[in-house]
Structure 1
Amino acid sequence: MSELRTERLVLREWRESDLRPWAAMNADPEVREHFDGVLTREQSEASVARFQAAIEQRGWGWWAVEVLETGEFIGFTGLDPVDEDMPFTGVEVGWRLARSAWGHGFATEAALAAVAFGFDTLALPEVLAVTTATNLRSQAVMRRIGMTRDPADDFDDLTVPDGPRRRSVVYRLPAEGRHPAER
């Protein structure tokens, strides 16, 4: 897999030049609001190494996202197997964008490309998305890409300290549930 392209975006392998803006994103408390705090530069670099290793091994994973017109790195989007400590299995779609990229439809556009790859190339029967119950922005993206939530799937993530971020919600999109235009 070299890259996925949408009308405005490129989902691609990570580059050395992505490290600085990725670290800046992960140092932003608003970007990291629904996670366990901000990351150091070293933690951000380690995450990129893991992301790139997964892409090299499987041919897919958390891809860097850039704006096609400008080449600006704006975050990541992609697919990844659900962590083993979750109460379900499958492959999840996810995204994290710099604040400057919020509100432009980039997360939805990139997520749709990742989901299409999951169904068309990987032949996944379903794609999941998981976030905190308080992350309403991500839940809105999940609904925009056609995912639905069954509250019976919601769970308390015991790897997260007790508090508002512990409750997690799960959205699902079965392959047969895709909008016909996305097939």
Structure 2
Amino acid sequence: MYFCYSPGIEIGWRLKCEAWGNGFATEGAKACLKYGIERLEFNKVYSFTSKINVQSENVMKKIGMVKVMEFEHPNIIEGCSLREHVLYSIDSSS
């Protein structure tokens, strides 16, 4: 199943390996999310990652996002371990 949330605002993070596990992704995501909701007046923000990327999924949970669904990413070939994804969201009332 493929889910298209466009138009939508996505939050994401990418850190070098040496920075993993220090809370930088969570801290930065919280700040960006707060700015997006309070200053830019975003009503809803999404984030998605491969199911095997448990660390990023944990960041989504820590910043208050709720799991919406699981889906197979259409741009990743069948059989690849990165194909199965999770989608999370948060809205301004959360």
TM-score, shorter chain, exceeding 0.5: yes
The equivalent of 1:166 in structure 2 is 83
Unmatched 5+ residue regions in structure 1? 1-84, 178-183
Equivalent pairs, count = 91
Match for 2:10 among 65, 79, 92?
Answer: 92
Partner of 1:141: 59
Q: How big is the alpha-carbon RMSD for the aligned residues of Structure 1 and Structure 2?
A: 1.5
* Identity across the alignment (%): 34
The residue that corresponds to 1:43 in the other structure is: none
> 4+ residue stretches of structure 1 with deviation over 2 A?
none
Please identify which structure carries the higher helix content.
1
Aligned match of 2:92 in 172, 175, 181? 175
Mapped partners of 1:88, 1:126: distance in 2:
11
Alignment partner of 1:137: what SS? helix
1:123 aligns with one of 41, 51, 70: 41
CA displacement, residues 9-68 of structure 1 (integer Å, 9 cap, x when unaligned): xxxxxxxxxxxxxxxxxxxxxxxxxxxxxxxxxxxxxxxxxxxxxxxxxxxxxxxxxxxx
- Matched with 2:30 is 112
C-alpha deviation, 1:128, in angstroms: 0.6
**Partners of 1:143 and 1:92 in 2: CA distance:** 15
Gaps of 5+ in 2: none
Q: TM-score, normalised by structure 1?
A: 0.47
Q: CA deviation at 1:147?
A: 0.6
1:86 is displaced (CA, Å) by 5.7
Deviations 1:60-81 (A, max 9, x none): xxxxxxxxxxxxxxxxxxxxxx
Alpha-carbon distance between aligned partners in 2 of 1:167 and 1:87, rounded to the nearest angstrom? 15
After the TM superposition, which residues 53-68 of structure 1 pair with which residues of structure 2 at under 5 Å, given as runs?
A: none
**1:87 partner SS:** coil
* Greater relative CO (CA pairs within 8 A, separation 6+): 2
Query: Is structure 2 residue 48 aligned with structure 1 residue 154?
Result: no
Give 2:4's aligned amino acid: P
